[in-house]
Amino acid sequence: MIFRQLFDSVSGTYSYLLASRRGGESLIIDPVLEKVDRYLQLVHELDLKLVKAVDTHLHADHITGLGALRDKTQCITVMGEQTKADVVSMRLSDGDKLTIEGLALDVIYTPGHTDDSYSFILPDRVFTGDTLLIRGTGRTDFQNGDPRQQYESIFGRLLKLPDETLIYPAHDYKGETVSTIGEEKAFNPRLQVKSVEDYVEIMNNLKLANPKMMDVAVPANMKVGLHQEEIARRGWAVTAEQALALVGEPDIALIDLRERSERERHGIIPGALHVPYTTLQENIAAGGMLHELARSTSRRLLFYCAFGERSAMAVQAAQDAGIASARHIQGGIDAWRKASGPLTR
């Protein structure tokens, strides 16, 4: 496995680049906007393809790199389903898998620091965001934080991992880079409590100042979505209501860009072809399945995904590849469901 821990000294943020091999797919966890060029340089140097950019939660101390990485690489942006961010390509739930080629991370919902906090687990390590820090825990006094929820997330879930599990947090302010579950059980002062009431008492009396960038970072991080309005302005979008009238027409080919787990959980539009977004480029290139489908049958490609972000990028890519008939369903399956569109499992 390729694993790199990257640090932003201004905000004390750790970001993590993972891949199963050189030349393969990669993902990055908790990227910082100001470090995006460094991440992309490293991705290039390691001959990787960045396919997913993930935030463990809505950050208050720095502006996320999710939107910039998406715009520069057309990667999928990922957060938990509780996020207040306007649009991310993929929203995960407790029990899901966060996957790229050769790697699958278990997804667990660990609220408390914020109400949208998630952790991601590999067999030997866990990325804890700001839920469990090295010799500390994330504050719980803003963004719907809750010390009782955090206690359960830590004691009920994270500390039940094997003691040798490595802990990689989203932040550290003392130069520590890694710990283990066993170390934190033994030496983390906030975990030496006898009850949830003791923990709540500690967390409610920290009296910390707000993060310096909070008033800037939180609003910015809630506006990471791709501007689908620009795709619509070019005439490349249809509303869910318009799509309802198109489904079943012989010259329409519905293309579902979501991953299999999303299709299984949320259902599919009847008759749709499954072409995962990560395989899009090979399919729209000359000789690719979608390119040939559009060329030889004159069928119009109608892309859709979860919330319209991946499909908007797919339309732009298809247009660039010469598929002039390509369109997408604005707002994705989310808008389709709200328009009472039929779904099958």
pLDDT tens string 8-37: 999 999 999 999 999 999 999 999 999 999
* DSSP letters spanning 225-240: ---HHHHHHTT-EE-H
**What is the sign, positive or negative, of the torsion defined by CA atoms of 331, 337, 341, 344?**
positive
Mind listing the pLDDT tens digit for each residue in 157-168?
999 999 999 999
C-alpha to C-alpha distances, 112 to 34, 139, 192, 268, nearest whole angstrom: 27, 8, 18, 33
What pLDDT was estimated at residue 32? 98
72-115 pLDDT per residue, tens: 999 999 999 999 999 899 999 999 999 999 999 999 999 999 99
Contact between 154 and 131 (Cβ < 8 Å): yes
Tokens, residue 31: 């990227």
Phi-psi sector, 106: left (phi>0), alpha (psi -120 to 50), beta = beta
The set of residues, in sequence order, having a beta carbon less than 8 Å from that of 196 and lying 6+ positions away, is 148, 151, 152
What is the model's pLDDT at position 227? Answer: 73
SS3 159: helix
Give every CB contact of residue 220 below 8 A, 6+ residues apart in sequence.
63, 64
Nearest to 98, CA basis, from 63, 138, 141, 55: 55
- Please give the residue that has the higher pLDDT: either 333 or 142: 333
Residue pLDDT, tens place only, 151-204: 999 999 999 999 999 999 999 999 999 999 999 999 999 999 999 999 999 999
Mean pLDDT of 207-232: 89
What six digits make up the tokens of 116? 């949208």
Question: What is the chain's mean pLDDT, rounded?
Answer: 96
Distance CA 189, CA 197 (A): 15
